[in-house]
Amino acid sequence: MALKATIFKADLQVSDLDRGHFATHALRLARHPSETDERMMVRLLAFALNADDMLEFGRGLSAEDEADLVQRDLTGAIDAWIDVGLPDERRVRKAAGRANRVVVYTYGGRPAEMWWTENAGTLERLANLRVVDLDVESTRAMAKAVDRSMTLSCTIQDGHVWLAQGGETLQIVPREIKGQSL
User: What are 18-57's pLDDT values in tens digits?
Assistant: 999 999 999 999 998 889 999 999 999 999 999 999 999 9
**Residue 44, burial from CB neighbour count under 10 angstroms (0-12, 13-18, 19+):** buried
Q: Residue 161 falls within a domain, yes or no?
A: no
CATH number at 14 reads 3.10.640.10
Q: Residue 56 falls within a domain, yes or no?
A: yes
What is the tally of structural domains in the chain? 1
Look at strands 101-107 and 78-84 and give their pairing: parallel
- Of the pLDDT bands very low, low, confident and very high (cuts 50, 70, 90), residue 182 is very low
Q: Residue 155 falls within a domain, yes or no?
A: no
Q: Residue 12 falls within a domain, yes or no?
A: yes
Q: Residue 166 falls within a domain, yes or no?
A: no
Specify the pLDDT at position 3.
Answer: 74
Q: Residue 76 falls within a domain, yes or no?
A: yes
The pTM of this model reads 0.93
Tell how far CA 163 is from the center of its chain: 14
Q: Residue 22 falls within a domain, yes or no?
A: yes
Whole domain around residue 123: which residue ranges? 7-150
Specify the pLDDT at position 139.
Answer: 96
Read off the pLDDT of residues 60-105 as tens digits, 9 standing for 90 and up: 655 567 899 999 999 999 999 999 999 999 999 999 999 999 999 9
Q: Residue 82 falls within a domain, yes or no?
A: yes
